[in-house]
Chains A and B, each alone.
Chain A
Amino acid sequence: MIRAQQKPLVEIESLIGQAKNVLVLGCGTCTAVCLAGGEKEARTLAAALRVSAQIKGVQREVRHSLVQRQCEPEFVREVEEEALWADVIVSLACGIGCQVMNERYPERLTVPGVNTCFLGAPIEHGVFDERCQACGDCILHLTGGICPIARCAKSMLNGPCGGSQHGKCEVNPSNPCAWQLIYERLLSLNKLELISAILPAKDWRSARDGGQRRIVREDVRL
């Protein structure tokens, strides 16, 4: 899922500016799961903004609400009344949700309340690790289910680079070397021949290098 982190309160307040009516809008999907922007976080941020305004003597009404999936226009339609009440909407969804809100309610400014960080998985409660860079050309079947694009600091396709020590990455020793993990995984699967095969240079046009991407499913278009 998409992983995000809430912005510092002072930054959120600067984004709100002088707005009198503020809606903090959580998202019930990815950012709720990573504890950055669900219902509880929206409620907490709204309360923090209210108390802060009270202390600073700023006249401001802050409400909070939740959309189950802020990245889908059908879902954000549900909060029309609250969205139009607000001068500024603070989106606690990922950057997608924030943009969908701006597209659906162009007369209102929706500002980001979180920094969208990466696509990842929880490795323990409260700890999330990156797992995917959405490069558009998945090769997990060749690398024992471990992504070298997202998990190797150099995104090497034919690793290891030789710089790792004791199974740790030389760029960031708190991370395991992705190619060490791939080697161990392929060994346990008895498929070590895969690590010897040379992978050709990656065509990055399916990733970000070709600009904004689009998927069209003609079979389901209306």
Chain B
Amino acid sequence: MDRDCPEVTIFSCAYCGAVPRELALRAGLRLPASVHLIEVPCLSRVQADLILSAFEAGAQGVLLVGCEDHNCHHQGGNQRAKRRFAAMAALLEQVGIPRTRLSLWQGGLGDPRAFLAELNSFLAAIAGSPHQSQVAGGSLDQGAAETTC
């Protein structure tokens, strides 16, 4: 377990969301053990009950990863997820969890860099100190990504 790395749950769409993550893993990235990845058929499946369950189970942040706008594998599930995101963030605030602990990233296929950048900045935002949260400091081009979290 990476002791300094915050506990984060990622709910990832099994299509667009999974591809950049898969590419990153193939390039040699090791996600910190404190980052838990849960693949769902569509990000619109992830609703407030699941997100609260993740926080209840100890997550310090929840990252939602889905398809880009206008590029949903299904029919607008990403748009539904986007609309729900706002409501879920508002509910978390009522509960007492800052909005920044929930993030939505809608990335493109084949873009592991953007995925990693998002994950890094999310971990940094939660940890409150950027140096503790770099999960991929190496070069993806050389397949030498490394974990410093």
Instruction: Tell me the dominant secondary structure on chain A's binding face.
Output: helix
Complex alpha-carbon distance, A51 and B57, angstroms: 10
Query: Chain B, 43-55, contact with A by CB distance < 8 Å: what is the 0/1 string?
Result: 0000111001101
Minimal beta-carbon separation of A59 from chain B (angstroms): 16
Query: Chain A, 43-60, contact with B by CB distance < 8 Å: what is the 0/1 string?
Result: 110011011101110000
Query: Chain B, 93-116, contact with A by CB distance < 8 Å: what is the 0/1 string?
Result: 011110000000000000000000
Note all chain B residues with C-beta closer than 8 A to A9.
Answer: 91, 94-95
A8:B56 contact, CB within 8 angstroms: no
23 contacts between A and B (CB under 8 A): A8-B94, A9-B91, A10-B94, A40-B47, A40-B49, A43-B49, A44-B47, A44-B49, A44-B52, A44-B91, A47-B52, A47-B53, A48-B91, A48-B94, A48-B95, A50-B56, A51-B52, A51-B96, A52-B94, A54-B56, A55-B95, A55-B96, A56-B96
B96:A47 contact, CB within 8 angstroms: no
Instruction: Tell me the dominant secondary structure on chain B's binding face.
Output: helix
Q: Which residue of B lies closest to A39 (CB)?
A: B49
6 closest A-B pairs by beta carbon, nearest first, are A47-B52, A55-B96, A9-B94, A44-B49, A52-B95, A44-B48
Seed contacts A10-B94, A51-B96; 13 additional CB < 8 Å A-B pairs: A9-B91, A9-B95, A47-B49, A47-B52, A48-B52, A48-B94, A51-B52, A51-B55, A52-B94, A52-B95, A52-B96, A55-B97, A56-B96
Note all chain A residues with C-beta closer than 8 A to B56.
Answer: 47, 50-51, 54
Range class of the A interface residue count: 10 to 19
Minimal beta-carbon separation of A182 from chain B (angstroms): 34
Note all chain B residues with C-beta closer than 8 A to A50.
Answer: 56
Q: Which residue of B lies closest to A42 (CB)?
A: B49
Residue among A47, A52, A54 having the largest count of chain B Cβ atoms under 10 Å:
A47
Complex alpha-carbon distance, A141 and B95, angstroms: 49
Complex alpha-carbon distance, A8 and B53, angstroms: 19
B-facing residues in A21-52 (Cβ within 8 Å): 40, 43-44, 47-48, 50-52
Minimal beta-carbon separation of B105 from chain A (angstroms): 23
Minimal beta-carbon separation of B9 from chain A (angstroms): 14
Q: Which residue of B lies closest to A54 (CB)?
A: B56
A51:B95 contact, CB within 8 angstroms: yes
Residue among A48, A52, A56 having the largest count of chain B Cβ atoms under 10 Å:
A48
Complex alpha-carbon distance, A43 and B53, angstroms: 10
Note all chain A residues with C-beta closer than 8 A to B48.
Answer: 44, 48
Query: Chain A, 109-153, contact with B by CB distance < 8 Å: what is the 0/1 string?
Result: 000000000000000000000000000000000000000000000
Complex alpha-carbon distance, A91 and B17, angstroms: 38
